[in-house]
Chain A
Amino acid sequence: MSATYWSWETFVDAFPIILEGLKITLGLTIASYLLAMVAGFIWLILESTPVKPFNFIVYWIKEFIRSTPPIVQIFFLYFAWPMVPYIGTSFTPFVAAMLALGIHFSTYISEVYRSGIESVDKGQWEASTALNFSTRDKWSKIVLPQALPPTIPMLGNYLIILFKEVPLAATIGVVGILSIARSYGAQTWSYIEPLTIVAILFLLLSYPSALLIRRLENKMNRRFDKKPKKVKVAE
């Protein structure tokens, strides 16, 4: 491979083409994130049933999903799921990627929910029980108002992390920015500019949001006068 040099012409030519994929990339991010938020809640409920062996199984299923590569999970849903007898149906690439990423990230999001609930002081539960609050009032007036705010920065972090995982969907043909950049490179044999554009687009979107989240985090820490909480960080 001989050295090729940077060409602004190619850059200008490729930019609008790649930008078209941004809608799909963002759409997939939001769709999988919403799924992860809902599914995260389901994990939380499944894990807090009073049946011990059931909780144990749910815990290990979650650990399994969490510690295996999301790209394999995407392949599984896209290539292999249609072959599963009786229940298998084929998905479009977009839906397969959405399901895989949504489920993968739900395992992290449920931890965020849990840490939020655990951050509420035990005395608050006891006091609200002592004051004879109904279960509904206890949750809606005492626990959730305190549990939700600290989770917002963490949820924001996971949104950014998920956004950076979405280009994995290019491998099954979701036409986001990365797959457009790759096909542009394959057609013109110039990979440098399109791939750099993708990197720039990611930076442009994720860096300002990361700064925003960091500021939010500091604000929350000050408000609750707590040390920064550490959660498992997904990639």
Chain B
Amino acid sequence: MFDTGVNILTYLSQGAWTTISIFLTATFFSFVMAFIAGLSRLAKNPLIRGFTTVYVEIFRGTSLIVQLFWLYYAVPMLFNIDLGSNWWVGVVAIALNYGAYMSEVVRSSILSIDKGQTEASIALNLSRFQRMRHIILPQALRLMLPEFGNYSIQILKGTALVSLIGLTDILYYGDIYRSSNLSEGPLAYLMVLVMYFIIALPLIWLSKQGEKMSRRGVAS
């Protein structure tokens, strides 16, 4: 049984790169989206604020799987936009979905920075941009760390859905393996889970570190 387990793992590892590459790219873009949307929701301009709020609420209010299908089936037909490849459809869906969730983290961390900090920086004649860059963001970033860690694990879990739009990730290879070795089904899926868990382990560790860092030396 042990040998079979190792065999399955080697077989599954063919899909590992798809999973990891989607995970890394989607994480990067969801961070970008989170900051853009999080900061835009605090903007002065009501148009920017309104537009971002609609984006955030739509992507938070529906499921990732629905968004994925929508981007995969509906968007190319509706707007005649071709996202290039399934790989990009997956990345864009995940990045937009988690970007919306994480933008709330960005926004609430910025809002939780003490008002006195803003007032002091205004008194010191810092511009809006300088205030954000030098005073508010460095403090807010630390508060965001644990949540970002948690969301990175969520993103990894989300990547398993891309096999539904035909990408050859770990779950895809797991399904192929199971359908050709029916009796080894339980072991095959267990190994898929183990594989995802192995990828998640460093993320679990990172989010623990993030928690520690955000607690350290915070004046409250």
Contact in complex: B77, A72 (CB < 8 Å): no
Contact in complex: A68, B200 (CB < 8 Å): yes
Task: Mark interface residues in B52-90 (1 if CB within 8 Å of A CB, else 0).
Answer: 000001101111111101100110111110000000000
A79 CB contact (under 8 Å) in B70, B157, B178: B178
B69 CB contact (under 8 Å) in A63, A182, A203, A207: A182
A182 to B108, CA, bound (A): 37
Residues from chain B with Cβ under 8 Å of A27 in the complex: none
Contact in complex: A192, B150 (CB < 8 Å): no
Contact in complex: A207, B196 (CB < 8 Å): no
Residue B164 interfacial (CB < 8 Å): yes
Residue B193 interfacial (CB < 8 Å): yes
Residues from chain A with Cβ under 8 Å of B171 in the complex: 69, 71-72, 75
Residue B31 interfacial (CB < 8 Å): no
**Are A233 and B77 also in contact (CB < 8 A) when A63-B204, A68-B196 are?**
no
Residues from chain B with Cβ under 8 Å of A198 in the complex: 62, 66
List A185-205 residues whose CB lies under 8 Å from chain B.
185, 191-192, 195-196, 198-199, 202-203
Q: Number of contact residues on B: which range applies?
A: 35 or more
The B interface is mostly helix, strand or loop, or mixed, namely helix
Contact in complex: A206, B186 (CB < 8 Å): no
Residues from chain A with Cβ under 8 Å of B61 in the complex: 202-203, 206-207, 210
Say how far A112's CB is from chain B's closest CB, in angstroms: 14
Contact in complex: A178, B66 (CB < 8 Å): yes
List A137-160 residues whose CB lies under 8 Å from chain B.
none
Contact in complex: A167, B65 (CB < 8 Å): yes
Say how far B46's CB is from chain A's closest CB, in angstroms: 20
When C-beta atoms are compared, the residue in chain B nearest to A177 turns out to be B66
B193 CB contact (under 8 Å) in A64, A195, A202, A228: A64
Give how many A-B residue pairs fall within 8 Å (CB-CB). Answer: 143
By CB atoms of chain A within 10 A, which of B74, B171, B204 has the most?
Answer: B74
Say how far B149's CB is from chain A's closest CB, in angstroms: 9
**Are A69 and B188 also in contact (CB < 8 A) when A64-B197, A199-B70, A233-B101 are?**
no
**Are A191 and B196 also in contact (CB < 8 A) when A80-B186, A207-B61, A235-B154 are?**
no
The A interface is mostly helix, strand or loop, or mixed, namely helix
Task: Mark interface residues in A200-219 (1 if CB within 8 Å of B CB, else 0).
Answer: 00110011001000000000
**Are A210 and B62 also in contact (CB < 8 A) when A68-B200, A76-B190, A80-B189 are?**
no
Residues of A within 8 A of B (CB): 1-6, 63-64, 66-73, 75-76, 79-81, 83-84, 88, 164-168, 170-171, 178, 182, 185, 191-192, 195-196, 198-199, 202-203, 206-207, 210, 227-228, 230, 232-235
List 8 A-B pairs, Cβ < 8 Å.
A67-B204, A68-B157, A72-B192, A75-B171, A80-B188, A167-B63, A203-B57, A228-B108
Known: A171-B164, A178-B65, A235-B101. 13 other contacts (CB 8 A): A3-B78, A4-B78, A67-B197, A69-B156, A69-B159, A71-B160, A72-B193, A80-B190, A83-B182, A164-B62, A196-B74, A198-B62, A235-B158
